[in-house]
Amino acid sequence: MDNRSSHQKSSFVNRAYAWFCAKIYNEWVGIYELIGLIISLGAWSKWRSLVIPYIKGPRVLELGFGTGHLQEILAHRKDLEVYGLEFSIAMHQACQKRFTKKKTETFRVCADGNQCPFLDHSFDTIFATFPERYLEKDAAIKECARLLSHSPDSQLVILGHWMESHHFIYRSLFSVFFTPPSHDEVELERVFKRQGLSLTKEAKQVGGATVWVIIGKRDTRE
């Protein structure tokens, strides 16, 4: 969770934030969706769903699927073979609850996004919404580049890595709940380039916020 317009936080606040995130991803998963609802003033699910038009199959992988909201939506799509990777066992359990009694499933693995247990060139779209900071570093982007298929349309889509607030309530909430990314656009573009990906970005205005979508494609320029 981050916000380009929020001020740099003190290391104490950053540590407290990291502690809080670790708790809600692992021990307090039951309140994860509620926290999302509060900090987005009810727009969390709408923001997250902005990634859907970018998802093109047939094989797609979601990194850090959390409680599995998008996994559940996409599982019904006949044109997609949906995979998910998530680090937290508690998040897997929350996601499994969604699928219990449903007649659909997705292929989900418990793993670290820095070391994905899939063969090279397995996916046409790899996507993540509101990712953790690991997804701006070389190790994870290298994995994504390795996993993207040879299709010219294959892409990595990251939503919510950057957020901007245009409303004083969002500004206040974001300043508490979103940490600024450690990589600005120039640095992130360098990371992508090092891993053979070009970076473009698109802004989505929803209510009082701008949700940025980052798109990485295999860089075919020399």
Ligand X SMILES: C[S@@+](CC[C@H](N)C(=O)[O-])C[C@H]1O[C@@H](n2cnc3c(N)ncnc32)[C@H](O)[C@@H]1O
**Stretch touching ligand X by CB under 6 A, among 126-134, 165-173, 181-189, 197-205:** 126-134
Distance CA 138, CA 195 (A): 7
20 binds ligand X (CB under 6 A): no
Q: Does 124 bind ligand X (CB under 6 A)?
A: no
According to the binding rule CB under 6 A, does residue 48 interact with ligand X? Answer: yes
Do residues 35 and 98 lie in contact, with contact meaning Cβ atoms separated by under 8 Å?
A: no
Shortest Cβ distance from residue 222 to ligand X (Å)? 32
What radius of gyration do the chain's Cα atoms show? 17
Query: Which of 130, 162, 170, 192: binder of ligand X (CB under 6 A)?
Result: 130
* Binding-site string for ligand X from residue 131 to residue 150, where x marks contact by CB under 6 A and - marks none: xx-x----------------
Are the CB atoms for 169 and 208 separated by under 8 Å? yes
Token pair of 137 as six digits: 């570093």
Binds ligand X (CB under 6 A): choice among 41, 87, 137, 196:
87
If one asks whether residue 113 binds ligand X (CB under 6 A), the answer comes out as yes
Q: Does residue number 174 form part of the binding site for ligand X (CB under 6 A)?
A: no
Nearer Cβ to ligand X (137/151): 137
- Restricting to residues 150-169, name those near ligand X by CB under 6 A: none
Geometric angle at alpha carbon 85, from 194 and 58, rounded to 5°: 80
H helical segments located in 61-181: 69-75, 89-99, 138-147, 168-177
Q: Rounded to an integer, what distance in angstroms lies between the CA atom of residue 154 and that of residue 55?
A: 10
Q: How far is the CB of 220 from ligand X (least distance, A)?
A: 28
Q: Which H/E stretch holds residue 128?
A: strand 125-129
Give the binding site for ligand X (CB under 6 A).
Answer: 1, 25, 48, 63-66, 85-88, 91, 112-114, 129-132, 134
